[in-house]
Amino acid sequence: MVFNCGRVVFMRKVLIVDDALFIRLTLKKMLEKYNFQVVGEAGNGIEAIKLYKELKPDIVTMDVTMPEMDGLEAVQMIRNIDGQAKIVMVSAMGQRTMVVKAIESGASGFIVKPFNEAHVVETLNNL
Amino acid sequence: MSENDGRDPMLDLYILETYNLIEELEEIILESEKEKDYKNSIDTIFRIMHTIKGNSAMMFFDNISHLAHSIEDLFDYLRDNSELNVDYPAITDLILQSIDFIKNQLGKIGNNETSDGNPEELVSDIRKQLEIITVETPQESKESKNQADNEEHHYYVSSVKDCNEILEGELQNRLDIRYEVVIFFKEDCGMENIRAFTVIHRLKNLAYDIIYFPEDIVENNETEKVIRENGFRIIFSSKRDMKEIKKSFKGTAFLSKITINPVSEEESCTKIENIEEVKSSLEVVSYREPQIASKNYSSSSESQGKHNMLNVSVEKLDMLMDLMGELVISEVMVTNNPEIASLNLDSFKKSSTHLRKIIDNLQDVVMSIRMVPLAPTFKKMNRIVRDMSKKLGKEVEIVLLGEDTEVDKNIIEHIGDPLMHIIRNSLDHGIEAPEDRIAAGKNSIGKITLQAENSGGDVNIIIKDDGKGLNREKILMRAKEHGLIDKPEGELTDKEIYSFIFLPGFSTKEQVSEFSGRGVGMDVVLKGIEKVRGKVYVDSTLGKGTTITIKIPLTLAIIDGMTIRVGQSIYTIPIMSIKQSFKVNEKDVFKDIDGNEIIMVRGQCYNILRLHERYNIETEVRDIEKGILVMVENEGKSLCVFADELLGEQQVVVKPLPNYIKKVKGIGGCNLLGDGSISLILDIGGLIP
Amino acid sequence: MEDSLLNVMEEEDTQKDKFLIFSIDKEQYGIEIKYVLEIIGIQKITEVPELPNYVKGIINLRGKIIPVMDVRLRFKKNFRDYDDRTCIIVVQIKDMSIGLIIDRVIEVVDIEEEQITPPPELNKSSSNKYIKGIGKIGEEVKLLIDCDKLLSQEELEEISY
């Protein structure tokens, strides 16, 4: 919760999942400029599920390709735990098929790398 | 000083991460090549390339991203098709070339230059490899898999024009309303077809009998453009009323314009009413410049399950080392303060002993932080041996031993190049061509051993090859030609002769090879090693091989020293070098034929070195009985140093002499004393002839 | 005196055309401000053996070890004992810091490019090679020092051990 100019603004909690430290950091910095609070970071699908259970974030950003367990599987697992989970796929250009599959498995939207700040914020605000 | 101003702080992290990935990749591919088994690495290689592709695109280094993408595609295919007749050697070469390309670009980026390398040739070669493989496989391509998937999601689809006919065939359910929705997405949001798919997917929660146009939004990426220009049309049935439908569509990301109309069977799908502008709920977003962080980028943690490691800037470590040194001096100034020297303070003594212990422990830990294993440096040699031996047409294998031995980070930076030079020399001049080796009764595969080991306060790095060895006579001749011999020939030991190769301009090779040059190699090696106060030794057996040993002191910065006085000057001798000190009587000292003073101790003769004579220091103490002799030793040779008096033992923080002052033989640095004055640290090796 | 000089150096915005003037015997020399780090009084010098005679040794400047050069000796003049007004000008060129021992520090002046003439070619004695120009202010003449040459180590290298 952030007290913002007389109004109480609820910060939405985000769990960032990506195996590249660099991407996690970029995204985190971007989100923290807006009303998002990054509560956790995971490097693969298995960690993502574990942290999801612990932290119960409002939003999860999920990289498509990761070691141990990839984004698609993780989406399915998390949606099994919580049918209301809001997951945004993070994909590189040209991974449309994966994104489509992820959406079919329950992802709510997607953002593309390289990140366009306006797009990222718009997508996360409209989940 | 301010080179990093205006530099994106993420850049350093990008460079670091990409560099680490490239190193990992190189290790894996070389290992796979050695084992002739790539199966286990394909997935890792794919993942690494995928990450590099993404990261590089993020930082707008499209050339790197493009190259990584092509390799990713290749390995993506290999993930499912690794059993085929794949030309792994060719692919390995291409990957190694790509690694070089990326390293090269990273170097430029790190120097704030533009990354202007063109990977197109590499990319096209990599693509050719992929083509070769795909041509050879049965058509079990991913495309057909996609079609199978699509079969399951086959919507009843037809063109818009026939919409009237479709409606006739629909279920007649009067409680349901049929809607027509046309969506326009925001300009420049991209991938409109996938966004459209997201909309449809969401819609399934409250609608059915959904038809949409364009229909092939998933399979056909051209629909992206179609949607951008003409909008995305959906017709569906739902029990929800207009209000609910509007509400559910309002949450669509990147929505620019939407029209929602109930349609009856008679109305044409193309009729448009009530155009509504959906106001964006988002305030204007301006792209904010990333904040420019200070030069010392803050540490970040990597939890990749390997070790729990931290990335810390070297400047911070240097600061820590300096402060550690100051702390040591400060402690001495407090506990040895002349003001309390005469007082008998028991409790104070106890506390200061305890303080001393803590500082010692702290010092050990600080020193160990800067200690880094030699492994990465050693592993780099794998690549060099591989490339060079191929080029030279020789078969060579390199064996690494003791690579977990740790040295100060400072040393790592200076040891890489000398090592590389030595190994290149071995490959070029040492190891013979396979035929020659067989003729000499050796294994056709030459062997280079690179070994590191701890020995006392030093680290030894030993490079051994089983090549043809050094030619003593040739070296001797060359040295004579250059006028480098200052001793009569008979007195030169083999090792001394071999070490001539370190003199500048020395090379017995008539022809310059591409790798080792005309005498550019070994003296540069020597300089590099001397920079970290190391020493080099050479030994060889003609026909059998050559062994080069590099000896480097572990602790650069803090040593135990004995301070001595000569006239007004204060010197420090490293305790490690001292065997004993004693006063002498005149009768124990005698002179040899040349007039050098000698002293006999327990049956052994030692030369006496009068520091005041050697360094021209003014002092009143010249009588051998008035001063003191300190017996020092270095590499088996000893002598006795004559000084005015001993001042005491203390921990000493070694500071190098300023660059401007050229090296003085016998002086290895200096240190600050408690009262601010400077003492010169003696380098015993330099004093002993 | 030195304090006020330092103040002058801090207040000015640009350092172009500014020279620190010091004297050796009767001659006045100028050195570009951009090279000057600070001015300190003479302090204890630790001798280092086997160096050229004009390199007097090293000093401890707040923990940093800096070599010092006696400019009189560098210019092949007679040695003069140091007194309490002898100063050390600490200069830095590229990454080398060095202290220059000089008789007296005078002032900081502006000397425009137009007021500087190149040194006479004929007098290229060993000392004059360190002068890169002659600055004229009114009636007075200041010999402007070429710091690179002053710090050059060619002669140093000739001395082998």
Q: What is the 3-state secondary structure (H, E, C) of B212-272?
A: EECCCCCCCCCHHHHHHHHCEEEEEEECCCHHHHHHHHHCCCCEEEEEEEECCCCCCCCCC
Mutation site, C45, C59, C65, C150, interface B, largest B CB count within 10 A: C65
Judging contacts by C-beta atoms under 8 Å, the chain A residues touching residue B302 are: 21
For chain C, the distance separating the N- and C-terminal CA atoms, rounded to the nearest angstrom, is: 42
In chain B, the percentage of residues whose pLDDT exceeds 90 is: 18
Mutation site, C40, C45, C47, C56, interface B, largest B CB count within 10 A: C47
pLDDT value for B304: 35
Which chain A residue lies closest to B76 (C-alpha atoms)?
Answer: A65
Shortest CB distance from B282 goes to which of A99, A103, A125? Answer: A125
Q: Which of B1-5, B280-284, B413-417 shows the lowest per-residue confidence on average (mean pLDDT)?
A: B280-284
Q: Which of B108-117, B249-258, C3-12 shows the lowest per-residue confidence on average (mean pLDDT)?
A: C3-12
Domain at B9-137, CATH homologous superfamily: HPT domain (1.20.120.160)
Which chain C residue lies closest to B612 (C-alpha atoms)?
Answer: C49
Per CATH, domain B156-284 is 3.40.50.10860: no
Does an interface of 3+ CB pairs under 8 Å exist between A and B? Answer: yes
Mutation site, B8, B18, B55, interface A, largest A CB count within 10 A: B55
pLDDT value for B465: 93
Q: Determine, for residues C48 and B680 on separate chains, whether the beta-carbon distance falls below 8 Å.
A: yes
Q: Show the tokens assigned to B646.
A: 């001993």
Q: Determine, for residues B657 and C153 on separate chains, whether the beta-carbon distance falls below 8 Å.
A: no
Shortest CB distance from A23 goes to which of B55, B69, B288? Answer: B55
Q: Show the tokens assigned to B401.
A: 């031993």
For B237-247, b/e burial (b = at least 16 CB within 10 A) is bbebeeeebee
Q: Determine, for residues B254 and A122 on separate chains, whether the beta-carbon distance falls below 8 Å.
A: yes
Contact C31, C20 (CB under 8 A): yes
- Chains A and B: how many Cβ contacts under 8 Å? 105
Cα–Cα distance, B667 to B638 (Å, whole number): 17
Q: To the nearest 5 percent, what fractions of chain C are helix, strand and coil?
A: 20, 45, 35
Q: How far is CA B317 from the centre of its chain?
A: 17
For chain B, the distance separating the N- and C-terminal CA atoms, rounded to the nearest angstrom, is: 42
- DSSP H helices in C56-107: 71-74
Residue B536 has a CB neighbour count (10 Å cut-off) of: 21
Q: Determine, for residues A65 and B53 on separate chains, whether the beta-carbon distance falls below 8 Å.
A: no
A2 domain-assigned = no
Shortest CB distance from A123 goes to which of B57, B221, B253? Answer: B253
Instruction: State how far residue C62 is from chain B, nearest Cα, in angstroms.
Output: 9
Per-residue pLDDT at B165 exceeds 50: no
Q: Show the tokens assigned to B312.
A: 């810390």
Confidence of residue B202 (pLDDT cuts 50, 70, 90): confident
pLDDT value for B421: 87
Give backbone dihedrals phi and psi of C98, rounded to 5 degrees, phi first: -150, 145
Which helix (DSSP H) or strand (DSSP E) does residue B531 occupy? Answer: helix B521-531
Residues of chain A with pLDDT under 50: 1-8
Q: Which of A46-60, B445-459, C43-57 shows the lowest per-residue confidence on average (mean pLDDT)?
A: B445-459
Shortest CB distance from B569 goes to which of C47, C67, C151? Answer: C47
Round the average pLDDT of chain C to a whole number and report it: 81
Q: Which residue has the higher pLDDT, C118 or B172?
A: C118
A1 domain-assigned = no
Judging contacts by C-beta atoms under 8 Å, the chain B residues touching residue A23 are: 54-55, 58
- What residues contact B543, with CB distance under 8 A and at least 6 apart? B440, B468, B469
Contact A72, A102 (CB under 8 A): yes
**Residue C47 contacts B where some CB pair is shorter than 8 Å:** yes
Judging contacts by C-beta atoms under 8 Å, the chain A residues touching residue B282 are: 121-122, 125
A69 domain-assigned = yes
Which chain C residue lies closest to B665 (C-alpha atoms)?
Answer: C161
**What pTM did the predictor assign?**
0.47
Q: Determine, for residues B218 and A96 on separate chains, whether the beta-carbon distance falls below 8 Å.
A: yes
For B165-189, b/e burial (b = at least 16 CB within 10 A) is ebbeeeeeeeebbbbbbbbbbbeeb
Residues 48 to 67 of C: which have CB under 8 A from any B CB? 48-51, 55, 58-60, 63, 65-67
Residues 132 to 151 of C: which have CB under 8 A from any B CB? 151
Q: Which residue has the higher pLDDT, B435 or C63?
A: B435
Nearest to A124 by CA among C9, B232, B626, B253: B253
pLDDT value for B81: 74
Domain map (residue ranges) of chain B: 9-137, 156-284, 314-366, 374-553, 558-687
Shortest CB distance from A114 goes to which of B44, B58, B302? Answer: B58
Nearest to B536 by CA among B488, B503, B490, B574: B503
Shortest CB distance from B17 goes to which of A20, A47, A109? Answer: A20
| Identity of the residue numbered B438 | I
Q: Which of B280-284, B554-558, C43-47 shows the lowest per-residue confidence on average (mean pLDDT)?
A: B280-284
Q: Which residue has the higher pLDDT, C137 or B7?
A: C137
Mean pLDDT of C107-121: 85
pLDDT value for B150: 38
Q: Determine, for residues B10 and A26 on separate chains, whether the beta-carbon distance falls below 8 Å.
A: yes
Confidence of residue B349 (pLDDT cuts 50, 70, 90): confident
Round the average pLDDT of chain B to a whole number and report it: 79
Judging contacts by C-beta atoms under 8 Å, the chain B residues touching residue A29 are: 10, 290
Per-residue pLDDT at B247 exceeds 70: yes
User: Which one-letter DSSP state was computed for residue C108?
Assistant: E
Q: Tell whether omega for the bond before A114 is within 30 degrees of 0, i.e. cis.
A: yes
Per-residue pLDDT at B68 exceeds 70: yes
Judging contacts by C-beta atoms under 8 Å, the chain C residues touching residue B659 are: 95-96
A3 domain-assigned = no
Judging contacts by C-beta atoms under 8 Å, the chain C residues touching residue B615 are: 49-50
Q: Determine, for residues B658 and C60 on separate chains, whether the beta-carbon distance falls below 8 Å.
A: no
| Identity of the residue numbered C31 | I
Q: Tell me the ipTM for this assembly.
A: 0.82
Q: Determine, for residues B655 and C65 on separate chains, whether the beta-carbon distance falls below 8 Å.
A: yes
Q: Determine, for residues B658 and C157 on separate chains, whether the beta-carbon distance falls below 8 Å.
A: no
Judging contacts by C-beta atoms under 8 Å, the chain A residues touching residue B44 are: 67
Judging contacts by C-beta atoms under 8 Å, the chain C residues touching residue B566 are: none
CATH code at B374-553: 3.30.565.10
In chain B, the percentage of residues whose pLDDT exceeds 70 is: 82
pLDDT value for B556: 55
Q: Which of B198-202, B270-274, B325-329, C101-105 shows the lowest per-residue confidence on average (mean pLDDT)?
A: B270-274
Shortest CB distance from B658 goes to which of C47, C66, C159? Answer: C66
Instruction: State how far residue C96 is from chain B, nearest Cα, in angstroms.
Output: 7
Judging contacts by C-beta atoms under 8 Å, the chain A residues touching residue B288 are: 33, 117
Nearest to B684 by CA among B585, B587, B596, B572: B572
Nearest to B514 by CA among B396, B391, B417, B384: B391
Per-residue pLDDT at B497 exceeds 60: yes
Q: Which of B95-99, B278-282, B425-429, C45-49 shows the lowest per-residue confidence on average (mean pLDDT)?
A: B278-282
A32 domain-assigned = yes
**Residue with the two structure tokens 């702080």:** B9
Does an interface of 3+ CB pairs under 8 Å exist between A and C? Answer: no
Which chain B residue lies closest to A18 (C-alpha atoms)?
Answer: B51
Nearest to B221 by CA among A99, A115, A96: A96
Domain ranges, residue A22:
10-125
Q: Determine, for residues A67 and B191 on separate chains, whether the beta-carbon distance falls below 8 Å.
A: no
Contact B548, B422 (CB under 8 A): yes
Q: Please state, in angstroms and as integers, the Cα–Cα distance from residue B669 to each residue in B410, B532, C48, C67, following that order.
A: 16, 12, 11, 13
Mean pLDDT of B166-173: 39
Judging contacts by C-beta atoms under 8 Å, the chain B residues touching residue A112 are: 190-191
Q: Show the tokens assigned to B211.
A: 């038809």
Q: Determine, for residues B662 and C46 on separate chains, whether the beta-carbon distance falls below 8 Å.
A: no
Q: Which residue has the higher pLDDT, B156 or C19?
A: C19
Q: Determine, for residues C96 and B680 on separate chains, whether the beta-carbon distance falls below 8 Å.
A: no
Q: Tell whether omega for the bond before B214 is within 30 degrees of 0, i.e. cis.
A: yes
Neighbouring chains of A at 3+ CB pairs under 8 Å are B
Q: Show the tokens assigned to C155.
A: 């002669």
> B259 by DSSP, 3-state: which?
strand
Give backbone dihedrals phi and psi of B489, rounded to 5 degrees, phi first: -50, -40
Instruction: State how far residue B657 is from chain C, nearest Cα, in angstroms.
Output: 7
Overall domain count for chain A: 1
Q: Show the tokens assigned to C115.
A: 């007021």
Interfacial residues of B (vs C; Cβ cutoff 8 Å): 326, 568-570, 614-617, 655, 657-665, 667, 670, 672, 676-680
CATH number at residue A51: 3.40.50.2300
pLDDT value for B7: 63
Per-residue pLDDT at B262 exceeds 90: no
**Residue with the two structure tokens 């409606």:** B167
Shortest CB distance from C46 goes to which of B326, B615, B678? Answer: B678
Note the CATH architecture for domain B558-687.
Answer: Beta Barrel (2.40)
